Amino acid sequence: MSSQAPSQRNQIHFKCVVLGNSGVGKSCLTLRFVRDEFTEGQETTIGAAFLTKNVFLEDANVRIEIWDTAGQERYRSIAPMYYRQAQAGLIVYDITSRDSFDGAKSWVKELQRKGERDTVLALVGNKTDLKDKRKVDPDEASEFARENNMLFFEASAKDATNVEKIFQEVAKKVPRQVQTKRADVVPLRGPGTNEPAAPKSAGKCC
């Protein structure tokens, strides 16, 4: 239990981008976390979707601003818009698809080359409910994550295994000094965003 009353804790927020091949379950993981929902046959994402959720940690109330990106190849060139200035990134693969694991590795390399130096990265092997069809050894994935200084989780958006934990552990690892106060949150909007941005503040600048 925290020694601080919930209302007295720091109010902070950070941007978390979700990347990975199409069909690995990025949207399902995000929707499981934000709304505790799962849809068989979830529709492919166009551009990106923006969702938020508050989590309550020992030292802070954290608002996680999630950019669930589109994994289809045609959207690859716009991905930097979402991972730039992200304090956290989930790189997702499907444990039943070797190809998607190779895709995750390539996302990690791209973020290391072009992303922010301090982004907290987590490698997430999704669809553990399909363990009979497993093609990616968890030890191999965990080793890859360790070598690249990433957190590692296996999860299932379908049965909710580990989904809350992924975001909680990432939130704990994001350095507090790069986060800003809740009052400073500026709603973001990108092309193809599936959710409307909040209304602009009527307040004047400076």
Is residue 26 close enough to count as binding ligand GTP by CB under 6 A?
A: yes
Of 198, 182, 123, give the one whose Cα is nearest residue 153: 123
- Token representation of residue 26: 């990025």
The least distance separating ligand GTP from the CB of residue 117, rounded to whole angstroms, comes to 26
158 binds, among Mg ion, ligand GTP, none (CB under 5 to 8 A by kind): ligand GTP
180 binds, among ligand GTP, Mg ion, none (CB under 5 to 8 A by kind): none
Residues that bind Mg ion (CB under 5 A): 26-27, 45
DSSP string, 110-163: HHHHHS-TT-EEEEEEE-GGGGGG--S-HHHHHHHHHHTT-EEEE--TTT-TTH
Compute the CA torsion angle 130, 131, 135, 136 (nearest 10 deg).
Answer: 110
The least distance separating Mg ion from the CB of residue 101, rounded to whole angstroms, comes to 18
Asked if 170 and 120 count as a contact pair (C-beta separation under 8 A), the reply is yes
- 31-90 residues in contact with ligand GTP (CB under 6 A) are 39-42, 44-45, 70-72
The least distance separating ligand GTP from the CB of residue 159, rounded to whole angstroms, comes to 7
Q: Which residues bind ligand GTP (CB under 6 A)?
A: 20, 22-28, 39-42, 44-45, 70-72, 126-127, 129-130, 156-158
